[in-house]
Amino acid sequence: MNSTLIIQSLISGVMMGSVYALLGVGFSLTWGVMKVINVAHATFGLLAAFFAYTALQAYGVDPLISLVVSAPLLFLIGCTLYHLLIVRITSAKAVIVSSMILTFGIAIILENLMLLLWGADPRLFTTSYTSKVIIIGPFYFQYPPVIGFLMSIVGVTLLHLFLKKTYLGKAVRAAWQQPDASQLCGINLKRISAITFGLAVSTAGAGGLGMGLLYSFEPHSHNLWLIHLFLVVIVGGVGNVLGTALAGVIVGVITGLSMAFLPYQWVNLLTFGLLMVILVVRPQGLFQSEI
């Protein structure tokens, strides 16, 4: 067995998995903190990818620069959606089921909107660095996975520090660990929830851009992305930001090694076979929730 190929596949898997992690942390946050499963999460990421693609094609704006606009815009969209729709189901007895139905409808609306605006043809980012390669000894790495990896490191670290070190982040955790006590201490539960949802949607934009750098995408791509989101969040533990990040890397490594040594049709079988084993052995995920 070629050791160079194994190491190359491992490193490539880590880079690929890190992008899954970046896309998944916001999904894990709303699920763990608010008990809201946002089925439209990946759709917002796809929307950011299409926004970046349009900015690149029409104005020559680098996709990474477009994130400066799309991330705050998605944050505002997330906060608005929370106040208009999500807040109405948070008091329901079956919040999880209600949120899945509601956000599924949002996902369908956004998907059809993207079909109207951009059509059904697959799109691919073509930048000055798309085909560039970093060569280190016998190993080589294309720029887009490296950029996605660095984006993930920055994004996950900032989100973790926000939750652990800032007053607002601690308020997010307190509001959902002890909602009654936190309100007695002056925390506005609705405002904190809106910020949490907006932040999650904003991170989806960064993750969607990362996915767009790695793969071609079209308006239906969010369905495949969503499957990987569930996989990463369940493996990492719902509500655990760092656990989700590690799970993304684990899934990426398994996928990378599988693609190197197995026929493509076996890759998803092996990956989701792992999910079934984890659900049976440890249904709460590999890591305990940190919320």
Min mean pLDDT across 70-74, 104-108, 158-162 is at 158-162
At residue 289, does pLDDT exceed 70?
A: no
At residue 229, does pLDDT exceed 80?
A: yes
Alpha-carbon distance of 32 to 290, in angstroms, equals: 9
Task: Write out pLDDT tens, residues 182-200.
Answer: 777 777 788 888 999 999 9
Would residue 78 count as lying in a domain? yes
Alpha-carbon distance of 239 to 290, in angstroms, equals: 6
Would residue 142 count as lying in a domain? yes
Q: Please give the mean pLDDT across all residues of the chain.
A: 87
Would residue 4 count as lying in a domain? no
**pLDDT over 90 for what percent of the chain?**
47
Residue of 12 and 74 predicted with greater confidence: 74
Closest CA to 52 of 172, 157, 266, 205: 205
> The CATH number of the domain where 161 resides is what?
1.10.3470
At residue 290, does pLDDT exceed 60?
A: no
Give the burial class of 216: count Cβ atoms within 10 A of its Cβ; 0-12 exposed, 13-18 middle, 19 or more buried: exposed
Q: Residue 71's pLDDT band (boundaries 50, 70, 90)?
A: very high
Would residue 111 count as lying in a domain? yes
Both tokens assigned to 17: 């998995």
The range of the structural domain enclosing residue 96 comes to: 9-281
Number of domains in the chain: 1
Would residue 2 count as lying in a domain? no
C-alpha distances (whole Å) from 259 to each of 76, 148, 253 are 39, 19, 10
Would residue 23 count as lying in a domain? yes
Would residue 290 count as lying in a domain? no
Task: Write out pLDDT tens, residues 204-222.
Answer: 999 999 999 999 999 999 9
